[in-house]
């Protein structure tokens, strides 16, 4: 009996150690959570138009966001670790935008688990974060459509179990011409840094 308890204790301790020590390069790398902020990388990657479905069940086309700066995060609603941090950071970015900036900036949360994340589930998730839907869309779609979007952004997705997905922890900033200019890899992107980059892109000609 004591042996079994000891084994369970050891297994739990081992799981905790494994979670903390995962390689930072892997998706959902909880090890990097200990660091504040996420690695920021400058990019120049054109994102082609794509069509998905938003949290209201309406068709969504990326093309409609041209002339706006877009902040896109990849999440899924039953994610038990990093996605809440990414969405919370995006919420801080939305809060930090001035009223005049809100018209020129749009936020996208794109699911990595279409099996679970229907428009209704995404809407409920967004409401828990008190997301303002006026400039924030939560997107889902069928697997082929989403696979194309993940690939376009360089996001790798691997299903582990129902409602449990491993994916690249990317938050991307896209300029008014539809070019991805900044990539924030990691679990807790710094909202102040993102706001600074957004303002830089807004002021660019």
Partner 1 sequence: MATQVLILILFFLVAGCASSERMERMYAQRCLGCHGVWGRGDGPLAASLPVSVPDFRDTIRSKSVIQIRKVITQGKGIMPAFEPALAKPEIQDMVRMVRVLSQKGRSLEWWEKFEPLVWAHCSVPWEFVLGYEEPANREKP
CB of 194 to partner 1, least distance (A): 15
CB of 157 to partner 1, least distance (A): 12
CB of 142 to partner 1, least distance (A): 12
CB of 181 to partner 1, least distance (A): 26
Identify whether the C-beta of residue 111 lies closer than 8 Å to the C-beta of residue 70. Answer: no
Is residue 156 involved in binding partner 1 (CB under 8 A)?
no
Identify whether the C-beta of residue 37 lies closer than 8 Å to the C-beta of residue 136. Answer: no
Map the footprint of partner 1 across residues 131-150, applying CB under 8 A: none
The contact pattern for partner 1, residues 78-117, with x = CB under 8 A and - = no contact, is xxxxx-xx-xx--------------------------xxx
Q: For residue 83, give the nearest of 113, 51, 44, 45 by alpha carbon.
A: 113
Residue with tokens 């896209």: 174
Q: How far apart are CA 46 and CA 175, in angstroms?
A: 10
- C-beta of 1 vs 100, nearer to partner 1: 1
Is residue 13 involved in binding partner 1 (CB under 8 A)?
yes
Is residue 129 involved in binding partner 1 (CB under 8 A)?
yes
Map the footprint of partner 1 across residues 38-77, applying CB under 8 A: 77
Q: For residue 173, give the nearest of 188, 157, 193, 156 by alpha carbon.
A: 193
Segments in the chain forming alpha helices (H): 2-21, 83-96, 99-102, 119-128, 143-153, 191-203
CB of 15 to partner 1, least distance (A): 5
Q: How far apart are CA 26 and CA 181, in angstroms?
A: 22
Record the tokens describing residue 115, joined without a space. 């099996």
CB of 121 to partner 1, least distance (A): 5
Residues 6+ apart with CB under 8 A from 141: 51, 52, 53, 114, 149
Map the footprint of partner 1 across residues 177-196, applying CB under 8 A: 187-188
- C-beta of 82 vs 93, nearer to partner 1: 82
- C-beta of 117 vs 175, nearer to partner 1: 117
Identify whether the C-beta of residue 119 lies closer than 8 Å to the C-beta of residue 157. Answer: no
The site for partner 1 (CB under 8 A) is made up of 8, 11-13, 15-16, 19-20, 30, 33-34, 77-82, 84-85, 87-88, 115-118, 121, 124-125, 128-129, 159, 161-164, 187-188
């Amino acid at each position: 009996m004591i042996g079994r308890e000891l084994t369970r204790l050891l297994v739990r301790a081992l799981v905790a150690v494994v979670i903390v020590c995962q390689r930072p390069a892997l998706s959902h790398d909880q090890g990097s959570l200990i660091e504040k902020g996420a690695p920021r990388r400058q990019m120049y990657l054109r994102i082609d138009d794509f069509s998905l479905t938003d949290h209201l069940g309406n068709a969504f086309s990326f093309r409609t966001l041209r002339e706006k700066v877009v902040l896109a995060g990849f999440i899924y609603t039953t994610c038990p670790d990093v996605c809440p941090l990414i969405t919370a950071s995006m919420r801080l970015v939305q809060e930090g935008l001035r009223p005049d900036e809100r018209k020129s900036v749009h936020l996208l949360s794109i699911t990595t688990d279409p099996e679970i994340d229907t428009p209704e589930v995404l809407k409920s998730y967004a409401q828990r974060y008190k997301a303002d839907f006026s400039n924030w869309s939560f997107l889902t779609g069928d697997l082929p459509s989403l696979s194309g979007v993940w690939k376009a952004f360089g996001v790798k997705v691997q299903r582990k179990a129902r409602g449990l997905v491993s994916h690249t922890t990317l938050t991307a900033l896209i300029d008014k011409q539809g070019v991805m200019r900044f990539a924030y890899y990691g679990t807790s992107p710094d909202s102040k840094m993102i706001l600074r980059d957004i303002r830089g892109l807004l002021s660019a000609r």
